[in-house]
Amino acid sequence: MPRKTLASASLLLISSLVAQVSAHGYVEHVTLGDTKHTGYLPYVDPYMSPTPQRIIRKVPWNGPVQNVSLIDIQCNGYTAGGIPTEPAPLVGTIAAGQEAKLKWTSWPDNHKGPVITYMARVPDDQDIRKWSPGRDDAVWFKIHEVGKTADNKWGAVELLTEAKGVSTVKIPSTLKAGQYLIRHEILALHFAFAYPGVQIYPSCIQVKVTGGGDDFPSSEYLVSFPGAYKHDTPGIVYDLYSETGGYSIPGPAVWTPGA
Ligand X SMILES: *[C@@H]1O[C@H](CO)[C@@H](O)[C@H](O)[C@H]1NC(C)=O
Choice between 175 and 187, CB closer to ligand X: 187
In the bound state with ligand X, the residue whose beta carbon lies nearer, of 97 and 196, is 196
Residue closer to ligand X, measured from CB, 71 or 157: 71
For ligand X, the binding residues in 57-96 under the rule CB under 6 A are: 67, 69-70
Residues touching ligand X, count (CB under 6 A): 4
Could you tell me the smallest distance in angstroms from the CB atom of residue 30 to ligand X?
Answer: 29
* Minimum separation from the CB atom of position 80 to ligand X (A): 10
Among 60, 196, 197, 227, binds ligand X (CB under 6 A): 196
Q: How far is the CB of 60 from ligand X (least distance, A)?
A: 17
Cα–Cα distances in Å, from 182 out to 60, 77, 102?
A: 18, 14, 11
Nearer to ligand X, 36 or 230 (CB): 230
Q: Tell me how crowded residue 37 is: count the other CB atoms within 10 A of its CB.
A: 17
Residue 106 contacts ligand X per CB under 6 A? no
Smallest gap from residue 201 Cβ to ligand X (A)? 17
**Contact flags string 147-186 toward ligand X, x per CB under 6 A:** ----------------------------------------
CA distance 256 to 217: 8
For ligand X, the closer of residues 1 and 80 by Cβ is 80
Q: Which residue is nearest to ligand X (CB)?
A: 67
Smaller CB distance to ligand X: residue 182 or 198? Answer: 198
Closest approach of ligand X to the CB of residue 124, in Å: 32
Q: How far apart are alpha carbons 21 and 77 in whole angstroms? A: 23
| The 3-state secondary structure of the chain, one letter per residue | CCHHHHHHHHHHHHHHHHHHHCCCCCEEEEEECCEEEECCCCCCHHHCCCCCCCCECCCCCCCCECCCCCHHHCCCCCCCCCCCCCCCCCCEEEECCCEEEEEECCCCCCCCECEEEEEEECCCCCCCCCCCCCCCCCCEEEEEEECECCCCCECECHHHHHCCCEEEEECCCCEECEEEEEEEEEEECCCCCCCCCCEEEEEEEEEEEECCECECCCHHHCECCCCCCCCCCECCECCCCCCCCCCCCCCCCCCCCCC
Least distance to ligand X, CB of residue 254, Å:
28
Q: Which is nearer to ligand X, 8 or 66 (CB)?
A: 66
CB of 28 to ligand X, least distance (A): 28
Residues at the site binding ligand X, with contacts judged by CB under 6 A: 67, 69-70, 196
